Chain A
């Protein structure tokens, strides 16, 4: 009996020891990688951020959703919709750089301070500027992409022209030509025929943006923000980049038209007034489609 117990105990102890050893060796490997990547820096304005200085801040504010490994698998992730960003992929929606490229440090910095509407990511604007830049460096340290690639070159955004009735109408034509309505709906209510079929690059269902609800977009509220979203696309989602298919002046026309789809807010008084004057009606998707620039492919990883 005693021998049996001894044998069983020895086996169990051996198994536990093996488990412990493998855990230790795994821990050493990640610790090495961690130490290498913790040298990551970020630069925004006069601030230089250091990943190693943000460990405490990340643990306090971010780890619950984004996870210890930055893979978006924090303890609360299972309850969240949309899911938290997986930083290990090095893929970000809000960029001022072309689709498929890494964002600027300032893009990540702005995202942290602004938060994301239609998600539980709040604006972390109570943090100091230094803490936010440190966090940017820490976010970057999760993905090896930042060690092998540079951030994309930001695309230029020309000055915003004056809003006119003509431009709004041209924007509406573009809205139809580019088939924005297929996802966003003819009135921008996120109820287009494709809206229920969309998934992100993780094959998770995703909803198009509802212009008629609220004034804030995920990546900012100003006209320039809408322009940027439209031209950069939202990587990892079905929203493609239109930078190669739409001229800058056309993009501004589309921005003005999209403003008419929103509820009245601090940004669209002019557009709403002109639309009212024009008696602007929603597009008819069955009407002949004017010759239009070809719709581009979905954003990298996106499944449309």
Chain B
């Protein structure tokens, strides 16, 4: 009996091995279904774009053949992809203020949690309404199912048959070469680019976060092969929040430019710049002491600018570098600026309000800082990618001369890999494993204490 069991088990193992060896890499759903291309055609590894995918996006999700208009699609085709990520993660956060012995926040502790969890749910729908008219809608929920509109935009492509004239209107991702919306990492701190969201300690300016989708109008121009790209956007200084909850007369400009070079077997290298220059309100009318959203005036200025480089070292290894110099007006540094909770639009009741006669502390200064993101990929194949990222933010001028010079300085380190065993032109599925560690200086419960947090995440990332 034992022998027959072994034989059957051996046979089953053999069959399993044969099937295991037969898996292949394929494509991301929505556009892959339309054009019949593998995911790897547009994605270095899903969801990060490669050069061809960037060109496809820049052309308004068109291959620029005669099949771009939806009239060519099977009537049953519906350009929808949904994405969700069930995970197990372990989060460790140091120096959390805790209550002990009946007191309030009178002690600190390291909090470690672990367990199964969910990401939010994204419904991606996009494509063309007609040849050279594109759209993208992305209703997105948090893990509790509360939805908001992450992206809502329509775009006129190749106006006058020129790739140099593309106009986008709505809420959209800024033209960042290193796209946060296509980030390859998923942890709480590693799932965003810290450089794109850095705000000095106590600063009230949330409007300079270039990683957030913004409301506005964008012009994009590019050469036929996308080697040269230029864009300029006029945005409402609302950090993408609707209903003009902050100032109704404050705008931000965002400008990018980049040039790519053919370097033979090394690949295509790209260097570029970006600059965000804007103004946002600091003074609000109040009702019962609560700022009235939309009533903001007293615009103050801010800026973010930096260089971007995408460097390829053959078919497997690449490194992207993003630098940033940021500066905020002195009023932002003292906490003036945002009037509402960006998550729900609720007006803050305790917001510093730059009302007439406001006097800043004599030690106040305009905060400024420098930051950099280094992200490296080893692409073993389109199915398997290893990721490493290091981010560093350093204050160059604190908002108060009395602050420690390193207050708010930040370092973040992320490593991980994504293995996509099965990705068809109908669905994508990835096994994701990642670790992030982040430290911020001087932000602990007690003066001079640094905070650190780490997260280990394992999960299934899938899209259909």
Contacts and interface: CB of A to CB of B under 8 A. Distances in A.
Q: Do A and B bind each other?
A: yes
Interface of A: 2, 5-6, 9-10, 12-13, 16-17, 20, 53, 56-57, 59-61, 63-65, 75-76, 79-80, 115-131, 213-214, 216
Q: What are the 3 A-B residue pairs with the smallest beta carbon separation, nearest first?
A: A76-B36, A64-B38, A125-B225
A127 B52 CA distance: 8
B36 A65 contact: yes
Contacts of A122: 35, 52, 56, 63-65
A16 B16 CA distance: 12
Contacts of A123: 64, 224-225
Contacts of B263: 128
A118 B24 CA distance: 28
Contacts of B25: 59
Given A16-B14, A56-B315, A75-B425, A6 B7 contact: yes
A76 B426 CA distance: 11
A253 to B, nearest CB: 28
A119 B63 CA distance: 10
Contact of A64 (B1, B8, B27): B27
Contacts of A63: 38
Nearest to A118: B66
Contacts of B268: 126, 128
Contacts of B38: 60-61, 63-64, 76
28 contacts: A5-B8, A6-B3, A9-B4, A10-B7, A56-B381, A59-B40, A59-B382, A64-B37, A64-B40, A64-B41, A76-B37, A76-B425, A115-B64, A115-B65, A118-B66, A119-B67, A120-B65, A120-B67, A122-B35, A122-B52, A122-B65, A123-B64, A124-B52, A126-B51, A126-B55, A126-B226, A128-B263, A131-B267
A214 B11 contact: no
Contact of B225 (A56, A126, A213): A126
A142 to B, nearest CB: 18
A118 B37 contact: no
Contacts of B26: 64, 75
Contacts of A12: 11
Nearest to B43: A60
B424 interface: yes
Interface centre among A9, A13, A116, A118 (most CB of B within 10 A): A9
Interface of B: 1, 3-4, 7-8, 10-11, 14-15, 18, 24-27, 35-38, 40-41, 50-52, 54-56, 63-67, 224-226, 262-265, 267-268, 315, 381-382, 424-425
Contacts of A129: 262, 264
Contacts of A79: 36
A129 B260 CA distance: 13
A292 B423 CA distance: 57
A264 to B, nearest CB: 11
A20 B17 CA distance: 11
B4 A64 contact: no
Given A120-B65, A130-B265, A16 B15 contact: yes
A65 B63 CA distance: 15
A119 B264 contact: no
B10 A13 contact: yes
B97 to A, nearest CB: 50
Contacts of B36: 64-65, 76, 79-80, 120
Contacts of B65: 115-122
Given A17-B14, A79-B36, 18 more contacts: A2-B1, A6-B3, A16-B14, A57-B315, A60-B41, A64-B27, A76-B36, A76-B37, A76-B38, A118-B67, A120-B35, A122-B56, A125-B224, A125-B225, A126-B226, A128-B264, A128-B267, A130-B265
